[in-house]
Structure 1
Amino acid sequence: MGISIRVVMRIYSFLFLFSALTLCVSARDVTLTWEPVEDEIRGYRLFWGLATGQYTDSISVGVSTFYTVTDLNDQVKYYFAVKAIDYWGNESAFSNEAMTSGTDTPPPPQYYDLKSNYPNPFNAQTVLTFWLPEEAEITLSIFNSLGQKVRILESDSFIAGIHHSIWDGLDQQGQPLASGTYLGVLQSKNIRMCRPMVLMR
């Protein structure tokens, strides 16, 4: 009696193509953020180069949706795009392309602000963005629903500008925190701002 074996191969394609690559320039560094793809993602790869659609450099950034490219050359325009990669090695199409110049430093914000984190709710990590109109000593901390400080993300002097910080859902000892609502708190000598965040395990 013959035995018939049918091999089923998974052919995977990204049905959801993200198109929300954005960037923020600070001196000679460029911070890029993008929306996560909701499919089974192994990670992302960021590409950049000196001409549109022609990328000479790239880096794997894991599942992070946030990366800073440092030490860019003065007077040079850079073009950026990102791809998602699944567990089978398949790649998505490129995201939208973002362009900047190594010297296109925007003016600083006019006021202090702590933006809503993204994504929210989140599972693996989330990005907190804060605005500083002047150089300031700041702390950016995470508090639980009982008002207990569970993590210090930043505690330093920052120049005027737009800054980003990643929270990975861990406490100060590197242990995973439980699902729930947390507060991101930005504090300096003159201000204290809070934003609620929802961690979902």
Structure 2
Amino acid sequence: WGEKNDDNNIGTVDHSLGTPIDTLFSLESGSPISVDLTDIINSSGELSFGLGVLDPSDNVSFYSKEKLLTDGAGGYAPQMSVWPSLSFQQDSLSVAYDLAFTEGWNLISVPFDGLNPHPQSVFATLIKNNQLVYVSSPKGFYKPNDPLGTLDSINSKDGYYIKASGSESNIYFRGKAFSNASLSLSAGWNLISYYPSYELNIEDAFADLIDANNLQYVAGFDQGGLVYDPDAQGTNTLHRLMPTKGYWVKINQAVENFSYPEEGQSGSTAMIANNFIEHPDVKPNPSFMFVKGQIIGHYNVGDWVKVLSEDRKIVGAIKIIKGGYLRNSPVYGDDFTTEEIDGLKTGELLSFTYNGDTLSSQIKFYPMSFKEVELDYKAFLPSTFALHQNYPNPFNPVTTIQYDVPDNGPVTIIIYDLTGRKIKTLVNQVSTPGRYSIIWNGTNDFGKSISSGMYFYRMEAPGFKSVKKLMLLK
């Protein structure tokens, strides 16, 4: 906090907001006071005021949106007139939120009235701190200093993807409480705000849509994609709606004047926690689909089945839950804000890997689609020899190479440099049928680290030869 004089206001300033506020008195909860303001600020006509209460122990402050000072020859001086009487009603009070962003993508809403709706104003704190990377919605995008941006207004009824560059990014919203608490939903997908100031279980929030068999899916995004399917209770990851978050809602038929139930009117009492899908090899972004299903064969509850792209990138991870079911989990496409291709392309085939065995599938990536898979690992035996592309590639310092052996016989896999000089023998043994994985740490046959660059790895077996490239980066 600090003092500020300018042509808009005078008094203390919340620097995180950049908003001048005339803090007149501090009170304790339940201890109201009255004060004559005529000697402090004088004006005439109708003025607009706000009363902000962050929590019962916070200060209560009056502030004015009008110009309170006149710039005269001798400097700033108060305007001379009579201060009007003040009265407040609950629906006209100012509300404030301190919303923390995680590094990367966030799905939020700004459910307030009385704000300057331009993204440059709403996200001024992030822009000032050089932490705002991108704002995206079905209605357009905003990127700081990009003249081609198509999003010029933040609607209090919509949801927005925000990409932040800092792990401790905060933004402060301050405005009137949401006055028109109803939403119009179209058939299909809708990206909407969650405007209540309280949490709700998802079954309570959408009870009417569920009872009418009109709700298909609800999807959220908090450290990654979350989903609620009313027909698949056991594998859902989204259970609770949170204030100032945004949510995708897919319905069969359009609905006018949808609203969330009032606090305390819901049928359930216990709040159910969301099941966040966090895996260190997966990079969440707004382009995703959902995959659920079942695994057959030997498995451990709590293990992960990884989802691979055609070039062996890890684009998703699905946790095995009780009964061998695969929790409904996001599989990610490419993050359009990065230069590298770090996810699936539309129409690309998915494969699944668990305990070193990889199964192909006919599932193709399409954003906001839902697929189900059955993975049978109980009798996986390759029908042909195969040498797979290493992953990750490029790599530093470790990469994995998988290969298939259909029959008993000798198998060798050797790393060569570009001149054909042998660098490292990875495999030289008689192998039984199965799928194998070998890890290479970028060292030669003498255990010494090799220099960065392009290398080849060659597999030989009876009647089979295959060579692939790999890249070591340091």
TM-score tier after normalising by the smaller chain length: 0.5 to 0.7
Given the alignment of the two structures, is residue 15 of structure 1 paired with residue 285 of structure 2, yes or no? yes
Letter in 2 for 1:169: G
The answer to whether the 8 A contact 2:318-2:326 is kept is no
Letter in 2 for 1:159: T
The answer to whether the 8 A contact 1:125-1:167 is kept is yes
Letter in 2 for 1:100: L
Q: Secondary structure of the equivalent of 1:138?
A: strand
Letter in 2 for 1:47: K
Say if 1:20 and 1:180 are closer, same or farther in 2 by CA, change over 3 A. Answer: farther
Please state how far the C-alpha of 1:143 moved relative to its aligned partner: 1.3
Given the alignment of the two structures, is residue 196 of structure 1 paired with residue 287 of structure 2, yes or no? no
From 440, 449, 457, the equivalent of 1:167 is 440
Given the alignment of the two structures, is residue 48 of structure 1 paired with residue 320 of structure 2, yes or no? yes
In structure 2, runs of 5+ residues without a counterpart are: 4-13, 17-99, 106-283, 329-352, 358-370
Structure with more relative contact order (C-alpha pairs < 8 Å, separation 6 or more): 1
Aligned residue runs from structure 1 range 1-201, under 5 A: 11-12=102-103, 13=105, 14-15=284-285, 34=308, 35-36=313-314, 47-49=319-321, 50-53=323-326, 68=355, 99-101=374-376, 103=378, 105-110=379-384, 112-188=385-461, 190-201=463-474
Please state how far the C-alpha of 1:134 moved relative to its aligned partner: 0.8
The answer to whether the 8 A contact 1:32-1:68 is kept is no
Say if 1:69 and 1:134 are closer, same or farther in 2 by CA, change over 3 A. Answer: closer
The answer to whether the 8 A contact 1:33-1:67 is kept is no
Return the TM-score normalized by structure 1. Answer: 0.53
Describe the superposition over 1:81-128 as per-residue Cα deviations: whole angstroms up to 9, x where unpaired.
xxxxxxxxxxxxxxx88643452x144323x33233334333343332
Alignment partner, residue 368 of structure 2: none
CA distance in 2, matches of 1:116, 1:53: 26
CA distance in 2, matches of 1:172, 1:121: 21
CA distance in 1, matches of 2:403, 2:451: 25
Say if 1:191 and 1:36 are closer, same or farther in 2 by CA, change over 3 A. Answer: closer
In structure 1, runs of 5+ residues without a counterpart are: 38-43, 56-65, 71-95
Letter in 2 for 1:48: I
Please state how far the C-alpha of 1:140 moved relative to its aligned partner: 1.3
Whichever of the two has the greater Rg, that structure is 2
Return the TM-score normalized by structure 2. Answer: 0.26
The answer to whether the 8 A contact 1:29-1:69 is kept is no
Say if 1:189 and 1:101 are closer, same or farther in 2 by CA, change over 3 A. Answer: closer
Letter in 1 for 2:420: G
Say if 1:149 and 1:36 are closer, same or farther in 2 by CA, change over 3 A. Answer: same
The answer to whether the 8 A contact 2:458-2:468 is kept is yes
Letter in 2 for 1:108: P
CA distance in 2, matches of 1:67, 1:33: 9
Letter in 1 for 2:319: F
CA distance in 1, matches of 2:438, 2:289: 22
Letter in 1 for 2:432: I
Please state how far the C-alpha of 1:20 moved relative to its aligned partner: 11
The answer to whether the 8 A contact 2:356-2:437 is kept is no
Describe the superposition over 1:50-109 as per-residue Cα deviations: whole angstroms up to 9, x where unpaired.
243559xxxxxxxxxx76279xxxxxxxxxxxxxxxxxxxxxxxxx88643452x14432
Say if 1:15 and 1:196 are closer, same or farther in 2 by CA, change over 3 A. Answer: same
The answer to whether the 8 A contact 2:381-2:435 is kept is no
Alignment partner, residue 71 of structure 2: none
Q: Sequence identity, in percent? A: 20
The answer to whether the 8 A contact 2:356-2:435 is kept is no
Say if 1:150 and 1:51 are closer, same or farther in 2 by CA, change over 3 A. Answer: same
| More helix per residue | 2
CA distance in 2, matches of 1:20, 1:129: 26
CA distance in 1, matches of 2:410, 2:469: 22
The answer to whether the 8 A contact 2:444-2:450 is kept is yes
Q: Secondary structure of the equivalent of 1:152?
A: strand
